[in-house]
């Protein structure tokens, strides 16, 4: 049975390969397929036109969190699992010169790619950090908005991720997260039957698990809305909540 470290290393290696052009990221073939369930097709044409081509090609998510986060000028936003930087760059544009966008990723190859993409896009109000989403390297109450795109399902310690999100958010801060979420009817073994952990399926939380976890971490106004099916009983979803 895979250990926490084994799973984390498998995820790191998969995304390092994706950053250097040697592989895909989320989903066993899903983001490389024409199905539109993962990747840059979930961003509209106007948004893709704002970005370097390498940032678009490196998009491996299951949604478009910048479309639902309602980012405002002057805000500080944090993207968990920032990958090639697509959501950080878009966020930095939305919050403007008086705001700031942080990207956090554990994969050195993805961080190098993201920094190149931000430089190519001429974006100065960004900072990319290396670290774990279970141990966010930012101070308490330092962020207005946390976004993430198909990454929390890959964590081996999701309660810690949710607590860390609550810690770094200011009171009244909010989340706009895209993730794969299971219907409540599916048990853990049934989720694993539908796809691998590194493929963003086996590790997905259910709707109730997400909702209960966020409330336990100090959030209110929690909502989990399915957007598209990625497997039987598994959906791309938008998760929103407000820090109390």
pLDDT, residue 31, reads: 40
Please report which helix (H) or strand (E) contains residue 127, including its range.
strand 126-130
Contact 25, 83 (CB under 8 A): yes
User: Cα-Cα-Cα-Cα dihedral of 87, 93, 96, 100, to 10°?
Assistant: 30
pTM: 0.84
Kindly indicate the confidence band of residue 8, based on its pLDDT and cuts at 50, 70 and 90. confident
pLDDT, residue 25, reads: 47
pLDDT, residue 65, reads: 80
What residue spans define the domains of the chain?
4-243
Average pLDDT (177-188) is 96
d(CA 54, CA 84): 8
d(CA 23, CA 19): 8
Q: Quick one: tokens of 36?
A: 């539109």
Is residue 120 scored above 70 in pLDDT?
A: yes
Average pLDDT (134-162) is 96
11 vs 124, more confident = 124
Q: Which residue has the tokens 């960004």?
A: 126
- Rounded to a whole number of angstroms, the distance between the first and last alpha carbons of the chain is 38
pLDDT, residue 1, reads: 56
Please state, as a whole number, how many other Cβ atoms lie within 10 Å of the Cβ of residue 157.
Answer: 15
CA-only gyration radius of the chain, Å:
16
d(CA 95, CA 147): 13
Q: Which fold has domain 4-243?
A: Rossmann fold (3.40.50)
């Amino acid at each position: 049975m895979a250990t926490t470290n084994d799973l984390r290393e498998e995820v790191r290696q998969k995304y390092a390969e994706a950053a250097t052009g040697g592989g895909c990221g989320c989903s066993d073939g899903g983001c490389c397929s024409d199905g539109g369930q993962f990747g840059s097709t979930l961003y509209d044409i106007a948004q893709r036109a704002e970005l370097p081509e390498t940032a678009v090609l490196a998009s491996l998510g299951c949604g478009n969190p910048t479309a639902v986060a309602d980012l405002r000028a002057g805000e500080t936003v944090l993207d968990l699992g920032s990958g090639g930087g697509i959501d950080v760059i878009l966020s930095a544009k939305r919050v403007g010169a008086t705001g700031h966008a942080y990207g956090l990723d554990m994969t050195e190859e993805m961080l190098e790619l993201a920094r190149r993409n931000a430089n190519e896009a001429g974006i100065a109000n960004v900072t990319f950090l290396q670290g774990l989403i279970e141990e966010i390297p930012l101070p308490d109450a330092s962020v207005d908005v946390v976004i993430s795109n198909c990454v929390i399902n890959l964590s081996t310690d999701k309660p810690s991720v949710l607590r860390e999100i609550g810690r770094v958010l200011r009171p009244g801060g909010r989340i706009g997260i895209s993730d794969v979420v299971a219907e409540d009817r599916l048990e853990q073994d049934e989720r694993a039957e539908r796809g691998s952990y590194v493929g963003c399926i086996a590790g997905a939380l259910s709707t109730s698990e997400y909702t209960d976890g966020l409330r336990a971490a100090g959030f209110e106004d929690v909502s989990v809305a399915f957007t598209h099916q990625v497997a039987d009983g598994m959906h791309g979803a938008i998760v929103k909540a407000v820090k109390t």
